[in-house]
Structure 1
């Protein structure tokens, strides 16, 4: 991305943030100690943007310098998950920053030959929806079939295990921090 493209993007962001707040050039100028004519020339590209001007403009607009100048690409929006496979299981992590929302989102594919082992118990809640196939959810003493298009939510303090029932199953799941540690060993996000 060239400097001119970044400058244009910064100008658009300043103008958009100002207009979103319903501020005139005079209102923003009073908040960042720049004249309305200087701000107008910055927004229209008739004046180069100086770093010592960007900091007070960003503060006045309630944002950071980093947010004003960060390049625009799809890396902050599009997640390109890489599948991680083990016997009978494939996991695609669909969230990049667990700590932002406190959860990890994953797509999972299980086959009946997946090694499930003992039921898990940990603090928190778990949620999943079945994209295809049927899940056999062992929840305490109960066995519950959750079919395509259905969802399940339950306390993870109850012993639980999720298995494929009579064929492959794909599901979308949301784990809190404790669920991630219990169900996705080796799938740690940096903290």
Structure 2
């Protein structure tokens, strides 16, 4: 019961915080979610019980999701302890949990191979890839182009262009953000096409 009351308080604070962050008055938010300003005020102050049918339009009006609005405040999922997964010259550490970042995956990769797995076959998938080089030099094969990306630099490219990321003159470590399609292609693809 106490945990439910604590979450209720957090939800109220989130509603008020999101409203204030947008610079909206109670009247502004009330108009966006078809509630009266007095009802909204009582919800924010705890003088009125929050009903599910009120949370949905509030979340929509505040440009968030119901899940994010009612997300638990439990600290158990704050620290991510990545486990290395190695395959064919690439070690990957997943640095995001499955519920975060709206469907994107953050990963650290250490690439030791200078040739893409299944050499000669560059991968294609919908979306965009982004990575930054933490250490070493990455060789980005982008169609017919070869681009060297040094430590401290980043690359952002359409993944509809055949591509592969490999090491150049020794191991390279990158931090990458992958869309759902990118994660499937880069991290869960067939073993022989792991380099994209």
SS of 1:121's equivalent in the other structure is coil
* 1:172 Cα deviation after fit: 2.0
How far 1:31 sits from its partner (Å)?
Answer: 4.0
After superposition, the Cα gap between the structure-2 partners of 1:159 and 1:77, relative to the gap in structure 1 and judged at 3 Å, is: same
Aligned counterparts, 1:84-163, within 5 A? 84-95=85-96, 96=98, 100=102, 103-112=104-113, 116-124=117-125, 125-140=128-143, 143-154=146-157, 156=159, 159-163=162-166
CA contact (8 A) 1:92 1:107 kept: yes
**Contact 2:122/2:163 (<8 A) preserved:** yes
The alpha carbon displacement at 1:75 in A equals: 6.5
1:23 CA displacement: 1.6
Give the TM-score, by structure 1 length. Answer: 0.63
Q: How many residues are paired up?
A: 179
Partner of 1:56: 54
**Please, which runs of 5 or more residues in structure 1 have no aligned partner?**
none
- What is the alpha-carbon distance in structure 2 between the residues aligned to residue 154 and residue 50 of structure 1? 44
Deviates more, 1:11-20 or 1:86-95: 11-20
Question: Using the alignment, how far apart are the partners of 2:182 and 2:43 within structure 1?
Answer: 49
The list of structure 1 runs, each at least 4 consecutive aligned residues, that deviate by more than 6 angstroms after superposition, is none
Deviation (angstroms), 1:108: 0.7
Is contact 2:26–2:41 with CA below 8 Å preserved after alignment?
Answer: no
d(CA) in 1 for partners of 2:145, 2:40: 66
Q: Does 1:173 align with 2:176?
A: yes
Q: Which has the larger radius of gyration?
A: 1
Match of 1:16 in 2: 17
